[in-house]
């Protein structure tokens, strides 16, 4: 059971001292502090105001095995007693670190046999950034520095992460992106290809990558990076064939292909990794979140043997973090993978709960405010429109309806994110049919409740 917290005091201290992530500090002050989440079990979180909320976001796209896993607590305690920390810098490693690398390599398969550990998804992408440029230099092609990414991609919040990402509002803070990063259009059919044949639109988006490569010169391009399915961008599921085209373009010009699996990894899309679901083969795979189901911070960057062979010719790769391969995080990640395997959460997502969510979301197709409801595995999105049959938005601009409907959802006991006008969901992979029904029912009721307010906006 939770401890008996003084919630009012915690909220006061939150305003006085705590700067929360990606937040408007004035707003937090105005609302009297953050919602204090005190405890959780299974697919539910509880807050200090006594609300029990179905966690449609698995924390922050990460608690794949759900909350309250005693064995993860035990394995962390056991590892802390035996060895709470040791580093991987000085020709040293710990058992859990090495075993986790072996375990991940088994899941990524093929040539992705080498694992570099970091603490967060952002760091996993920073590792990609430095490693890829270093690789090309060692290979004798030092001009290959440019990364091609997509607008509205999310690759993290560090300098390289924000720069690789395609969030303009993030670039505006900190004078980013850093040089050498090119952004091209995203394969967001509902937002940007509406009315077009989906496959044709996908081809157009892939062609934009080739056009940019030719514009900047293939000899200057190091890598293309993309999330198999964009998460923070609004669960953008690319049209069929898109990734095959992208892969062919990368191969044609000898460009490395990076699949950012920070959200898609560890069963989310119905295979261990999103690139397996979508059918392409990357050269580097940053991953985080579901790797430990968020129980402890750890990320990994899987690297192909071809790249590692080149790195071996360069002496030290002078990159790494104090907590690279942290033994406690690694032990928890190992046990988390055990749980995912033992409970068949990947195939369950592919064959059972994923299709069940897709079917449940279909119910929303007839709702007057819903432009599209889409999902892949246990990643889903509902597009809110002002005029049925179009992709027009309330208030004539993006971002009016999303926050309103999201707030209704939360008040109705469902945690989801409202990204612009898209309600997105990413529940724990342990979610039941009943809970999926609850999730969709709450979204439906929240859309109904928001309707008068939104119609008034027009
Ligand atoms: N890549 C992807 C694809 C992500 O989704 C990161 C990298 C960075 O991971 P870290 O661990 O450094 O946060 C992410 C993280 C949102 C939201 O608004 C999404 C993320 C993080 C914070 C907020 O949906 N994804």
Atom of ligand 1 nearest to the CA of 125: 7
d(CA 357, CA 376): 9
d(CA 49, CA 62): 24
- Does 24 have pLDDT greater than 90? yes
The pair of three-digit structure tokens given for residue 303, joined into one six-digit string: 């690297």
pLDDT band (50, 70, 90) for residue 3:
confident
- Does 109 have pLDDT greater than 70? yes
Residue-wise pLDDT for 272-303, tens only, equals: 999 999 999 999 999 999 999 999 999 999 99
Cis-peptide, bond into residue 177, ω within 30° of zero: yes
- Which ranges constitute the DSSP H helices of 193-304? 198-216, 242-252, 274-278
Q: What rounded mean pLDDT belongs to the chain?
A: 98
Work out the average pLDDT over 85-110: 98
CATH (one of 3.30.200.210, 3.40.50.720, 3.40.50.300, 3.90.1150.10) for 35-65+344-457: 3.90.1150.10
For ligand 1, whether the C-beta of 406 sits within 6 Å is no
pLDDT band (50, 70, 90) for residue 426:
very high
Residue by residue, DSSP assigns 78-93 as HHHHH-S---SSSS--
Quote the percentage of the chain above a pLDDT of 70.
Answer: 100
Residue ranges with strand state E in 280-325 = 284-287, 299-304
Residue 63's pLDDT is what?
Answer: 98
For ligand 1, whether the C-beta of 265 sits within 6 Å is no
Residue-wise pLDDT for 130-179, tens only, equals: 999 999 999 999 999 999 999 999 999 999 999 999 999 999 999 999 99
For ligand 1, whether the C-beta of 154 sits within 6 Å is yes
- Does 1 have pLDDT greater than 70? no
d(CA 258, CA 117): 16
Atom of ligand 1 nearest to the CA of 289: 11
pLDDT band (50, 70, 90) for residue 208:
very high
For ligand 1, whether the C-beta of 311 sits within 6 Å is no
Domain 71-342: CATH architecture, name and number where available? 3-Layer(aba) Sandwich (3.40)
The model's pTM is 0.98
Q: Report domain extents, the chain.
A: 35-65+344-457, 71-342
Whole-number Å distance, alpha carbon 61 to ligand 1 midpoint, is 8
Work out the average pLDDT over 61-76: 98
Residue 458's pLDDT is what?
Answer: 86
Quote the percentage of the chain above a pLDDT of 90.
Answer: 99
* Domains 35-65+344-457 and 71-342 equal at CATH topology level: no
pLDDT band (50, 70, 90) for residue 455:
very high
């Amino acid at each position: 059971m939770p401890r008996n917290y003084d919630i009012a005091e915690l909220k006061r201290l939150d305003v006085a001292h705590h700067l929360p992530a990606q937040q408007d500090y004035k707003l937090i002050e105005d609302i009297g502090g953050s919602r204090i989440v005190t405890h959780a079990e299974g697919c539910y979180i509880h807050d200090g105001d006594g609300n029990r909320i179905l966690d449609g976001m698995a924390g922050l796209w990460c608690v794949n095995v759900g909350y309250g896993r005693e064995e993860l607590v035990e394995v962390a305690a056991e590892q802390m007693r035996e060895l709470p920390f040791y580093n991987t810098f000085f020709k040293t490693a710990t058992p859990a670190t090495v075993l986790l690398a072996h375990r991940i390599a088994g899941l990524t398969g093929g040539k992705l046999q080498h694992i570099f550990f970091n603490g967060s998804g952002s760091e996993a992408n920073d590792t990609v950034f430095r490693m890829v440029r270093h690789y090309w230099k060692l290979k004798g092609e030092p001009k290959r520095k440019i990364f091609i990414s997509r607008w509205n991609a999310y690759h993290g919040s560090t300098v390289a992460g924000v720069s690789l990402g395609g969030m303009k509002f993030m670039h505006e803070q900190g004078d980013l992106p850093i040089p050498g990063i090119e952004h091209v259009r995203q394969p967001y059919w509902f937002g940007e290809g509406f009315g077009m044949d989906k496959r044709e639109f996908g081809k157009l988006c892939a062609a934009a990558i080739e056009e940019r490569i030719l514009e900047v010169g293939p000899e200057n391009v190091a890598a293309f990076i993309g999330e198999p399915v964009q998460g923070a961008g609004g669960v953008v599921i690319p049209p069929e064939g898109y990734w095959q085209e992208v892969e062919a373009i990368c191969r044609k010009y000898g460009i490395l292909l990076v699949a950012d699996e920070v959200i898609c990894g560890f069963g989310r899309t119905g295979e261990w990794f999103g690139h397996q679901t979508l059918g392409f083969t990357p050269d580097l795979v940053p991953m985080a979140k579901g790797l430990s189901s968020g129980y402890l911070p750890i990320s990994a960057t899987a690297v192909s043997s071809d790249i590692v062979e080149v790195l071996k010719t360069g002496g030290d790769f002078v990159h790494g973090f104090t907590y690279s391969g942290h033994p406690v995080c690694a032990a928890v990640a190992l046990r988390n993978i055990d749980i995912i395997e033992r409970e068949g959460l990947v195939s369950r997502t592919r064959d059972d709960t994923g299709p069940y969510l897709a079917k449940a979301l279909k119910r929303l197709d007839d709702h007057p405010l819903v432009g599209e409801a889409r999902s892949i595995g246990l990643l889903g999105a509902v597009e809110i429109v002002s005029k049925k049959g179009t992709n027009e938005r309330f208030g004539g601009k993006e971002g009016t309806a999303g926050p309103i409907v999201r707030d209704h959802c939360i008040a109705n006991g469902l945690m989801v994110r409202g990204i612009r006008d898209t309600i997105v969901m990413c529940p724990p992979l342990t979610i039941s049919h009943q809970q999926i029904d609850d999730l969709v029912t709450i979204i439906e009721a929240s859309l109904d409740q928001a309707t008068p307010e939104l119609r008034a906006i027009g």
